[in-house]
Structure 1
Amino acid sequence: MTSSPYTARILTRINDVSEADWDAHLPEGKHPFLTWRFLNACEESGAAAEETGWAPRHIWLEDENGKAVGCAPLYAKTHSQGEYVFDHSWANAMAQAGMDYYPKLQGSVPFTPATGPRLLAKDKDTKIGLISTMVQACHEWNYSGVHLTFLQDEDLAILKETGFAHREDRQFHFINRGYKSFDDFLASLASRKRKNIRKERKSAQEGITIKRLTGDDLKPEHWDVFWQCYLDTSRRKWGRPYLTRKFFDIMQETMRDDIILIMAFDGATPIAAALNYIGSDALYGRNWGCLIQRPFLHFELCYYQAIEAGIELGLPKVEAGAQGEHKLARGYEPVATHSAHYLAHAGLRDAVEDYLKRERHAVEYEINILGKHTPFKKEN
């Protein structure tokens, strides 16, 4: 496959290239979900595979001298699960017209609604080469479209320039405004909100011990517990787990220094756990579960402990995953998230672009309204 002046390879396994070669294209900083280790764990564990509808089709771009100049994680999808940007209505529209929406190409990190780089190259021309390769593959393979989700501003701008439609959604993030401690954060809140958080934390922590485990403090037995917690949440929320037990074994082997596993114990008995990944710009809350239900324990492990850990690490923000208006009262603020979409069918493309214009206005209005209801002290 060519994308002048580049030659593109399609990697059906990320281990078709070495860890060093892939990671050489990552931007400066720590991007745990874009590393070869994380993406390989998704594949080697069987979570992101042909059988699960996440077939790897990563783009590997080389110049005329055969030197690698860029890459992009990409998957052939046969459904819309595990993406967190919902396009089921688009699929239904094509089905009603007697056409196939699947397979499609998905430029994202599997099962991970975290904003980050998607076009892994150092200059704009090379990023355009990656985009051109995706669109060319879409047409050659007769796929319905290309979708890149949870984009940073630079990648979004280039994708819009090349004709991709812009979609906007929102999440709730904790923004660290120079806090030195959790008490500093509390001091920025209105009195009633501050008292409520202290009340929730006291109730959640009563009679339990909470530990934050990272690096060599993480042991295989901790993952045995977390797996049970993860299964519990999977059963209650979406019916089947996306990740496999082997995935967490690989995390222990290869990424335990990039992880904070927050665990709650009743005596010596673990009762709940929350999994977080450490980036250079954020602490990313990913999965959680509990074996015993306790009031406010979810808020304590997933939100308050994450805020404390993020402040201690000096990180600018905490991303606590998708959705959840209940995060607002706990110090997490509404922020926009972005995706870009290319649809091969001209009629569907025009209809979607028209819809997305109206959707963006609605999302921006919602963010503005929600932003007026944060728990922080109001300026006079």
Structure 2
Amino acid sequence: MSELRVLDNLASVDAAQWDALIDDGNPFVSYAFLRGMEEHGCLRRDYGWQAHHLVIVDGDRLIAAAPAYLKSNSHGEFVFDFAWANAFERAGGDYYPKLLCAAPYSPVPGPRLLARSEETKKLLVAALVAETERLGLSSVHVNFLLETDLPAFDERWLQRFDWQFHWHNRGYRHFEAFLTGLTGKKRKNIRQERRQASESGLQIAMEAGSTIGEGDWRELHALYETTFDMKGNHAAMTLPFFRHLGRTLGDRVQVATARMEGRIVAMALFMVGNSTLYGRYWGSLVEVQGLHFELCYYLGIEFCIANRLQTFEPGAQGEHKMARGFLPTRTHSRHYLMNESFDTAVRNALVHEARSREAYYDELMEHSPYAATPAQP
């Protein structure tokens, strides 16, 4: 007899059973990633995160799971609902806490309903709504869904989408083969940026997480913190968590490094799925023309070509990525607002938002970097 349980951490879950539910090897819902954040101080109530995972078990066997969190704010989600919260609270309601199903701090499309069958996915969706109602919450949100998860949500859920910029491998044999598909201007600019980085005197390389030492992890984390401090944001990922990633995920963590006399002075951190490379964090102590693009984009593209990965997702936002070969790709979220009047108001607003975002896509594609824009996969 299967049973639904709610967990305030993943300590009691078998790691192998959890990971067996993830078909695409997405590292951001892996046991090591999610449990590591719980263990190493990345998810705290004063940051607005409280683990509230839903799992379905049959005896000792894990059948399905949804990584979920009680949120007392909307930070670290990247599907922005601040306007919804303000409107609901101006009307006298309490928008927070809410229930969120997502990978914390990670604007990365991936599986959110970890289950083998459509029927079981629908059970998880129903459980998310039931738990929201049981706790008297305003809403439940599921962010950055895969398209394969969308059929589990009925029409009562609000549909929302946005765009990210992704690179797709068209069977390129090497980086120059990729460049030949771009317009002449874009091809020239990329070669110039790569030349600027290569002539900087820095030692630039892609390094596997399993090869990075303790001292290097300290330098990498300091660079990550510096970037967040410069932007006035809070760096939630801790140094112990960075070390945990290298220890548990090994070569599924890749770091593009720029070294000066052996010391890492700039870096871009990546994670690897079965067919996708994910760009995450960047930091630098030096000002070098072209270095950001070399570490964050071009080494990643080379890595995908060499390892036959199909997609490179460098992170949220950034129209400048289009000039480097990345094209707008649709991302999906679903939202269930318990108050029906509020639901109606937001639903109407989303119609206008969708039209605006479709027009934005058309505008972007007028500036495609490709001589002949390839069809979306």
Range of TM-score over shorter length:
over 0.9
How much has 1:356 moved relative to structure 2? 1.3
Q: Does 1:171 align with 2:164?
A: yes
Task: Work out the CA distance in 2 between the residues paired with 1:57 and 1:168.
Answer: 25
Identify the residue that residue 353 of structure 2 maps to in structure 1: 359
1:307 corresponds in structure 2 to: 301
Paired residues for 1:238-253 under 5 Å: 238-253=232-247
Name 1:22's counterpart in structure 2.
Answer: 18
Query: How far apart are 1:224 and its partner, in Å?
Result: 1.1
Give the corresponding residue for 2:50.
Answer: 55
Q: Does 1:45 align with 2:40?
A: yes
User: What is the CA-CA distance between 1:66 and the residue it aligns to?
Assistant: 6.9
Aligned to 1:15, the other structure's residue is in SS state coil
Could you list the per-position Cα deviations for residues 151-191 of structure 1 after superposition, in whole angstroms to 9, with x for gaps in the alignment?
A: 111212222x2621110101101111111111110111111
- 1:274-300 CA deviation, whole Å, 9 max, x = no partner? 000011121000011001122221111
**Deviation (angstroms), 1:215:** 4.4
> Partners of 1:356 and 1:362 in 2: how far apart?
10
1:181 paired residue number = 174
* Pairwise CA distance, 1:51: 3.4
* Residue 251 of structure 2 is aligned to residue 254 of structure 1: no
What residue identity is the alignment partner of 2:106? T
Residue 198 of structure 1: aligned partner:
191
Q: 1:270 aligns with which of 258, 264, 284?
A: 264
Measured in 2, the distance between the counterparts of 1:374 and 1:238 equals: 32
Q: CA deviation at 1:193?
A: 1.1
The 5-angstrom pairing of residues 77-116 of structure 1 reads 77-116=71-110
The answer to whether the 8 Å contact 2:257/2:267 transfers is yes
Within the candidate set 234, 237, 240, 2:228 is matched to: 234
- Which amino acid letter does the alignment assign opposite residue 10 of structure 1? V
Q: Deviations over 1:258-284 (max 9, x none)?
A: 111110013333210000001112100
CA contact (8 A) 1:218 1:256 kept: no
Q: Is the 8 A contact 1:82 1:242 kept in 2?
A: no
Q: Which residue identity is paired with 1:266?
A: M
Contact 1:263–1:273 (CA under 8 A) maintained in structure 2: yes
1:152 aligns with 2:143: no
| CA–CA distance in structure 1, aligned partners of residues 305 and 130 of structure 2 | 44
SS, match of residue 150 in structure 1: strand
* C-alpha distance in 2 between matches for 1:56 and 1:166: 25
Letter in 2 for 1:126: T
Question: Secondary structure of 2:129's match?
Answer: helix
With structure 1 as the length reference, what TM-score do the two structures score?
A: 0.94
In the alignment, is the contact (CA less than 8 A) between 2:223 and 2:267 conserved in 1?
yes
Whether contact under 8 Å (2:209, 2:255) holds in the other structure is no
In the TM superposition, what is the alpha-carbon distance from 1:328 to its structure 2 partner?
Answer: 0.8
CA contact (8 A) 2:17 2:61 kept: no
Contact 2:181 2:372 in 1 (8 A): no
Unaligned runs of at least 5 residues, structure 1: none
Supply the AA of the counterpart residue of 1:227: H
Q: Percent identity?
A: 39
Name the SS for the 2:141 alignment partner.
Answer: strand
Residue 208 of structure 2 is matched in structure 1 by 214
- CA 1:354–1:200 in structure 2 vs 1: closer, same or farther (change >3 Å)? same
Deviation at 1:49, TM superposition (A): 3.0
Secondary structure class of the residue paired with 1:360: helix
Match of 1:13?
A: 9
CA distance, structure 1, for counterparts of residue 32 and residue 285 of structure 2: 29
Pick one of 62, 66, 75 that aligns with 1:68: 62
- Once residues 254 and 61 of structure 2 are traced to their aligned partners in structure 1, the CA distance between those partners, rounded to angstroms, is 37
Shift of 1:226: 0.7
1:16 & 1:66 partners in 2: Cα distance? 11
1:34 equivalent to 2:34? Answer no
One of 133, 136, 142 as aligned partner of 2:130: 136
